[in-house]
Copies of this chain bind each other. A is one copy, B any other.
């Protein structure tokens, strides 16, 4: 935890002062992205200190050869890794012949970073005294254009402070990059071509194996006191993978020299000839010019915020936290491209490989459904539909048949990217979340068309999987599900994880319901699908047997469902009775000790209560919350949000608020001491849920929005907007009242604490 490192501010992330030990953490926190690409906040100029270089292009991955200690049948031979892409931001700087390197300067003063989330712009400034005594002031501004999403812009200004100086700018593009997490220290990029003319340069490289081609480009302008000098490089160095230009400028004391560098990527996913595309996009950006690009950026972000902002009055840290979360979600995924998804580290690091976990379905879809056009959520669902064949193949590798589908634990292209047997083969509840998202999408949007069109095939594949994965126990005369890992990854290979069994039963029930509905209402689709997947009525009867006779572990003594068989055999010492020196247990304890402890990494049984809240009474929720939360260590970023929502539901606002802060400021305050590896993007959607579903108590029941608004005691008010079926409802919760207003054309009914109210377009309703 590092609570005072980031300065509180409503709209910006601010760091003040230069600390060599914080550089990698700040590189994560100040990351920028535009949905199509993103990058860590690495310095443009050479830096010899500790750094984690990262620039990423959405959808571009590399299948790295699997590395394990002992091979298990079924492991993928190769798996997709988030790929560190060629560097286009680099600008080496020489001042009077000496390299500017913040790690070796005599002094660095007034170092400041500001990530202006309102405008989507990252600024860095400092004053440095070099070893040669020269003193300069530096201002750097960088942004990745939302509009022109292949382009990033850097404006790098230098002012000599005490005397005239010779300033050399050496901007470059470089495909000679590597991944820190490469299993075999291999290069992932094969350089194909290098080209330059005037102030432009292009490095075209292709990923090995996957053969994605990317042209990494730059265009440079040198300015003096804001006036373009229209000069060309005095020197060009080119290798087979890198081009570097040299520009020399003599600058008088207190005058400012700057370089404006346009850069970015054009990739073969989008263009036949990536080099031509790069030339075109440079031309387009130049025709707009720096000022217009900047204005467009501010406007684009204003539009995003217009819909997705959550305001909090009276608590700057909470405000900063939620905006940081919403900002990064939008930097990572804007929903324009159904080939993309939301990686757990977004564009901020390599960890976890692959991009798509069940996080997308369980945590991210609600945010995107409510703050974007419904097509965005539909694209996220379609992503899984498009990978159904691979999920069926994946299941076949594990011995399933007849079209049973097991979605991978993590993937880029539908193939499994994970290789620990207890996760890869056993954390199968992910399949349930994917079905749940289909249900959730329809519940929220009312758009049924997705199901006959695509969703039903996914539901059938998943139902087939659960049917085959269940085992009939003659001993219990019920179906059991053996050898699984639940959401709580601090248990491995357990039998009858309540959450998994419950989801499995629900998936089958829901699939059958939808089959019946599609048969009745979309008979052409029904015929097309059943003939494609060869589904017969008898097969459905077999499924039903499993769903109808599923076993759920339950304790009469405690009147709770048990997380899994044998849970009560554990030594049930609560977390608050555990010595603090033992925490976090995932850093302090050996794995076996964690496994036999009662400690829960993230909501497991309670995740089931979150998904299926309406299947249980509030008393049941309370009982289960009181039984499980005291054993929960929340060592997953996905844990506090669900608990915050449930604490809110139970009216425990203090606890809900504590969980809220933990989820919203997880990275800003570096709770888990690992922010330097990247940010926890997917849990950020959970933060949004803790306000909207937790504090706001928003639910959709029978095609209608319901709210049970609550507010933390120190807040004056908070507000959020919901795109509900193409109308925008704004909800503003105050200590004593809640206000609703509607941007739309048709009045809607909402329920507030169970009472129906009508919200007319463009008029405020106060409850």
Interface of A is mostly: loop
Q: Is the CB of B569 within 8 A of A495?
A: yes
**Are A69 and B420 in contact (CB-based, < 8 A)?**
yes
Partner of A592, one of B483, B590, B592, B593: B483
Q: Report A61 CB to chain B, min CB distance, Å.
A: 18
Chain B residues, CB < 8 A from A72: 590-591
Whether B590 lies near A483 (C-beta < 8 A) is: no
Are B66 and A586 within 8 A (Cβ)?
no
Interface residues of A in 65-79 (CB under 8 A from B): 66-70, 72-74
Q: Is the Cβ of B475 less than 8 Å from the Cβ of A73?
A: no
Q: Chain B contacts of A576 at CB under 8 A?
A: none
Is there a chain B Cβ closer than 8 Å to A480's Cβ?
yes
Select A571's contact among B399, B472, B586, B595, beta carbons within 8 Å: B472
Question: Is A419 an interface residue when CB atoms closer than 8 A count as contact?
Answer: yes
Residues from 567 to 588 in A contacting B, C-beta threshold 8 Å: 568-572, 586-588
CB A716 to nearest CB in B, in angstroms, measures: 45
- A568 partner residues in chain B, CB cutoff 8 A: 473-475
A566 → chain B closest CB, angstroms: 5
* Known A483-B596, A565-B565; contact A74-B571, beta-carbon cutoff 8 A: no
Question: Using Cβ atoms and an 8 Å threshold, which residues of chain B touch A420?
Answer: 69-70
Chain B, Cβ-Cβ closest to A66? B69
Note all chain B residues with C-beta closer than 8 A to A387.
Answer: none
A493 within 8 A of B: yes
A276 within 8 A of B: no
Near B by CB (< 8 A), chain A positions 174-213 give: none
Q: What's the least CB distance linking A728 to chain B, in Å?
A: 44
Question: Taking A495-B569, A566-B482, A596-B483 as contacts, is the C-beta distance between A74 and B591 under 8 angstroms?
Answer: yes
Residues of B within 8 A of A569 (CB): 471, 473, 475-476, 480, 482, 495-496, 565
Q: Say if the beta carbon of A426 comes within 8 Å of chain B.
A: yes
Complex Cα distance, B428 from A595, in Å, reads 15
Q: Taking the complex as formed, is A421 at the interface, i.e. its CB lies under 8 A from any CB of chain B?
A: yes
CB distance A74 to B566 under 8 Å? no
A397 within 8 A of B: yes
Interface set, chain A 528-570, CB cutoff 8 A to B? 557, 565-566, 568-570
Residue A398 at the B interface, CB < 8 A? yes
Q: Does A727 contact B (CB under 8 A)?
A: no
User: Which residue of the partner chain B has the closest CB to A479?
Assistant: B569
Tell whether A448 is near chain B: CB-to-CB under 8 Å: no
- CB-based contact A590/B397 at 8 Å: yes
- Provide the bound-state CA to CA distance between A70 and B474, in Å: 37
Would you call A589 an interface residue if the criterion is a C-beta within 8 Å of the partner chain's C-beta atoms? Answer: yes
Instruction: Answer yes or no: A245 CB below 8 A from chain B CBs.
Output: no
Q: Who on chain B is nearest to A471 by CB?
A: B571
CA distance A566 to B564 in the complex (A): 11
- Give bound CA distance, A288 to B240, whole Å: 66
Q: Complex: how many Å from CA A752 to CA B595?
A: 50
A425 at the interface (CB under 8 A from B): yes
Which chain B positions have C-beta within 8 A of A570?
471, 473, 482
A492 CB–B CB distance under 8 Å: yes
Give the residues in chain B near A476, CB-CB below 8 Å: 569
Which residues from B are CB-within-8-Å of A572? Answer: 474
Which residues on the B side are within 8 Å of A565 (C-beta)? 565-566, 569
* Contact between B593 and A398, CB atoms less than 8 A apart: yes
Q: Which of B68, B399, B566 contacts A566 (CB 8 A)?
A: B566
User: Which chain B residues border A474 with CB–CB below 8 Å?
Assistant: 568, 572
Q: Which residue of B lies closest to A69 (CB)?
A: B68
A419 nearest in chain B by CB position? B69
**B contact residues around A592 at 8 Å (CB):** 74, 398, 421, 425-426, 483
Residues from chain B with Cβ under 8 Å of A68 in the complex: 67-69
Question: Contact string, A397-423, partner B, CB cutoff 8 A, digits 1/0?
Answer: 111000000000000000000011110
Q: Looking across the interface, which residue of chain B has its beta carbon closest to that of A478?
A: B569
Contact between chains at A398 and B471 (CB < 8 Å) = no
A68-B68, A566-B482, A569-B476 are known contacts. Are A399 and B589 too (CB-CB below 8 A)? yes
Which interface residue of A482, A569, A593, A595 has the most chain B CB atoms within 10 A?
Answer: A569
Tell me which residues from 465 to 520 in chain A have a Cβ below 8 Å from any Cβ of chain B: 471-476, 480, 482-483, 492-496
What separation, in Å, do the CA atoms of A492 and B566 have in the docked complex? 15
CB distance from A700 to the nearest CB of B (A): 36
A398-B74 in contact given A69-B419, A471-B596, A475-B568 (Cβ < 8 Å): no
B contact residues around A496 at 8 Å (CB): 569
Q: Is the CB of A425 within 8 A of B571?
A: no
Q: With both chains docked as a complex, state the minimum distance between the C-beta of A498 and any C-beta of chain B, in angstroms.
A: 15
- Tell me, in angstroms, the Cα distance from A476 to B493 when the chains sit together: 22
Question: Measured between C-beta atoms, what is the minimum distance from A533 to chain B in Å?
Answer: 23
Chain B residues with CB under 8 Å of A493's CB are 422, 492-494, 595
Contacts of A69 in B (CB 8 A): 66-69, 419-420
CB of B419 within 8 A of CB of A590, answer: no
Instruction: State how many angstroms separate the Cβ of A545 from the closest Cβ of chain B.
Output: 15
Contacts of A422 in B (CB 8 A): 493
Closest to A551 in B: B569
Partner of A399, one of B67, B419, B593: B593
**Chain B residues in 8 Å Cβ range of A74:** 590-592
Interface contact B591-A421, CB-CB below 8 Å:
yes
**Residues of the B chain whose Cβ atoms lie less than 8 Å from the Cβ of A566:** 482, 495, 565-566
Residue among A73, A399, A426, A571 having the largest count of chain B Cβ atoms under 10 Å: A73
Q: Which residue of B lies closest to A67 (CB)?
A: B69
Q: Of all chain B residues, which has the CB nearest A494? A: B493
| Distance in Å: Cβ of A424 to nearest Cβ of chain B | 8
Q: A596 to B568, alpha carbons, bound, how many Å?
A: 22
What separation, in Å, do the CA atoms of A735 and B127 have in the docked complex? 99
Query: 8 Å CB contacts to B: which residues of A26-69?
Result: 66-69
Q: Contacts A425-B592, A480-B569, A492-B493; is A587 near B73 (CB within 8 Å)?
A: yes
Contact flags (1/0) for A59-103 with B, using CB distance below 8 Å?
000000011111011100000000000000000000000000000
Nearest 9 pairs of A and B residues by beta carbon: A74-B590, A425-B592, A483-B596, A475-B568, A482-B596, A72-B591, A68-B69, A473-B569, A398-B590
- Can you give 6 A-B contacts (C-beta < 8 A)? A69-B419, A74-B590, A398-B592, A422-B493, A473-B570, A483-B595
Q: Given contacts A475-B568, A495-B566, list 7 more A-B pairs with CB under 8 A.
A: A73-B586, A73-B590, A74-B591, A398-B593, A399-B590, A474-B568, A483-B592
